[in-house]
Every structure is written in structure tokens, then in C-alpha cells.
Amino acid sequence: MSLFGRKLPHVRNVIAGVIYDTQKAEHLASQDASAYLFKQLVPSMRSGEHQHLYRTNAGNWFLVLQQEYTAKIWVEPLTLDAAFTWLNDFQEVQLLERFFSDRLTDG
């Protein structure tokens, strides 16, 4: 799979006894911080940073962060609340409905 013409990175890390493997987890969404809109929505993202959201078969959420200019790639485990916030920040409505329908109400 690719994002903006780039191949998604394969990452396999163990953090606190949990294996985070991008080839075994479901890739759900990606965001590119170099896009002007995303910098406005989420100022904490650094320019040139790509974030890829995954969910493991066990239900663990994690981000793979990729720094374009340094080629640095790392894994950041997410709590359920942090995954909800990430999806909400980027208006991933279908994913919010799929995974967090109990937190949503009709307006």
C-alpha cells in the first residue's frame, strides 16, 4: 500500500511486551503533516511528518510516525481515548462510526 506515492513502512517493534507489526495489523488511515490543512487542524504535527494509524487483531491501537527529512520511523502505542481523539481530529467519520459508535450521537 502507498500513501501520496510513498510505500507504507514495515515496522515491527516490541513495546511493553506488545508486538506492533504493520504487516499483521490493519492499516486504517494516514495523514501527511506537510499538507496545509492538517497543520491547521493539528498544530502538534511537525512539517514533513507522516502518521499511519493501525489496529492490531488484539484491538491495540498504534501510530507509525515517519519523519520525511530524517527518514526516522517509530511506533507510538495509543490508548483507546487517544485513538478516538486522532480519528476525531482528522474527521475520519467512517472509522469513528465503525469503532466508536457508542461515543457518537446524531446532531
In this prediction the pTM is 0.81
Which contiguous run of DSSP H or E holds residue 81?
helix 80-89
For residue 12, is pLDDT > 70? Answer: yes
The count of other CB atoms within 10 Å of the CB of residue 30 is: 20
Query: Which of 1-5, 15-19, 101-105 is the least confident region?
Result: 1-5
Is 30 in contact with 38 (CB distance < 8 Å)?
A: no
Task: Write out pLDDT tens, residues 46-90.
Answer: 556 789 999 999 999 999 998 877 778 999 999 999 999 999 988
35 band by pLDDT with thresholds 50, 70 and 90: low
Cell numbers for 29, please give them: 488511515
Listed by start position, the domains of the chain span 2-102
